[in-house]
Amino acid sequence: MADPAVEALRFIDPSCENPSSEQMQAIRIIHDEHRSLAAVLHGMLYLVHQIRDRGTRPDFGLLGAMTYYIDAFPERFHHPKEDQYLFRLLRMRRPDAALLLDRLESEHRAGAEKIRTLEQALARYQHGGAAEFSNFLAAVEAYAAFHWDHMRAEEAELLPLAEQHLSPGDWEAIDAAFLGHTDPMQGAKPGAEYEALFSRIVNLAPPPIGLGPAPPRA
């Protein structure tokens, strides 16, 4: 028989009900999605540093595919699920997390603008040549640092709070969204398309970051 004290508490605070072991799949998916994004950011930093330090010739096809990925994957696929499900429910359960949630949501909005800066810097570099390289390098470094900080805050601060305070019902809704059962725009099909793009990047990228051919010197 259920403990009456727990039952009473459950009425006040749904967090005292523990999610089952099959729940909280969204946490694993968020970590996986962060790892994919971090790999592309790391790859892009590696490429620009090779151009700066070794005079490697830029592969604009690869840089363009990476820029597209770090624009579309978080903006259209990852952040909307965080905003609409994870952040919204945690805000309801933990009003004292408002400061952290405000910060993370405003970073989602700021990220969209920062990626436009990166796209413009890439276009200028591609069409304007070496004189535009330092601007592109700075944009890549700034975007990577910004997004790493954001993912670190989500993993170190937000996810532990969510694990502790969201109810099984909350996780049902969040898991469904992250598994792609809620919105076809964020579902399995787009997920598979981003995986295919990620594989294409890995196949184009030179060693040691990918499986593509070594780049010719400029």
CB of 36 to Fe ion, least distance (A): 11
CB of 164 to Fe ion, least distance (A): 18
Nearer to Fe ion, 71 or 154 (CB): 154
- Count of beta carbons in the 10 Å neighbourhood of residue 174: 29
Nearer to Fe ion, 71 or 82 (CB): 82
CB of 168 to Fe ion, least distance (A): 22
**Contact in structure between 194 and 65 (CB atoms under 8 Å):** no
CB of 94 to Fe ion, least distance (A): 17
- Of the candidates 23, 42, 22, the residue with the CA atom closest to the CA atom of residue 151: 42
Nearer to Fe ion, 154 or 170 (CB): 154
- The binding site for Fe ion (CB under 5 A) comprises 82, 154
The Cα 79–Cα 173 span in angstroms is 16
Which of helix, strand or coil describes residue 56?
strand
Nearer to Fe ion, 104 or 204 (CB): 104
CB of 6 to Fe ion, least distance (A): 32
CB of 59 to Fe ion, least distance (A): 28
- Of the candidates 184, 169, 193, 170, the residue with the CA atom closest to the CA atom of residue 80: 184
- Count of beta carbons in the 10 Å neighbourhood of residue 185: 11
Locate 173 and state its tokens.
């809704």
Nearer to Fe ion, 7 or 195 (CB): 195
Residue/partner pairs of 199-203 with CB below 8 Å, 24 or more apart: 200/65, 201/40, 201/43, 201/62, 201/65, 201/66, 201/69
Q: Which residue has the tokens 């964020």?
A: 186
Could you tell me the CA-to-CA distances from 50 to 24, 85, 126, 217, 218 in Å, in that order?
Answer: 40, 40, 16, 10, 11
Nearer to Fe ion, 154 or 175 (CB): 154
Nearer to Fe ion, 59 or 154 (CB): 154
CB of 160 to Fe ion, least distance (A): 14
